[in-house]
Amino acid sequence: MTKRSYQPKDFYFRKAKDEGLRARSAFKIEEIARRFAIFKKGQTVVDLGAAPGGFLQIILNEVGPTGHVTGVDLAAIRPLGRANCVTAVLDVLGADFHAQLEALHPGPVDVVVSDLAPKTTGVKDVDEARSLRLVDVALEVAKRRGRPNGHFIAKLFMGSGFEALRDELKVLFGEVKVVRPEATRGASMEIYLVGLRKRA
């Protein structure tokens, strides 16, 4: 019996193509944003792990021309042709990452979004630990730069460190949600942690 090959052209893949979105994952941030009223016109947003730009497309539509969005990734992001969107190739695990991010867009941020994911090894504990490390970096951005009442969204591989991370978010935010968007692939162990209304 032959193993079924991976079929990328699923419902969300086709829907993304039809709507001119760069990635099927765009529907994940769209669902989260609508469920929790994350974005508003004129907001400043940082998108970590932004390539190829699907999240950026949704966020830019939500914050409008008066908002400002900064997207970074290890991979180059093809320009979106929007004056209020800055992208750069940055290593979030680099020693000078926070200084580089501040140079791209100084000042406070209304929403920090992270779709960062490690290169998977197939070893569950290793992959979960690497995922947690990336969430920690994103959370540090929110701690340093997040405005009071701002929001935080981060992808995470569910694992042994999940409860401690959720407890930390509960201290920092007024409300914490755990979301598995409909567009998530069936075999994926990823979830999203959403921190709402950062405490002053």
Cα of first residue to Cα of last residue in the chain, in angstroms, is: 59
Is residue 3 flagged as an active site residue?
Answer: no
Q: Which residues contact 143 (CB under 8 A, 6 or more apart)?
A: 172
CA angle 56, 61, 66 (to 5 degrees): 100
The CA distance from 76 to 182, in Å, is 27
Q: Which residues contact 109 (CB under 8 A, 6 or more apart)?
A: 44, 45, 46, 141, 142, 145, 146, 147, 150
Locate 21 and state its tokens. 């979105």
Catalytic residue among 3, 119, 155, 198: 155
Catalytic sites, residue numbers? 155
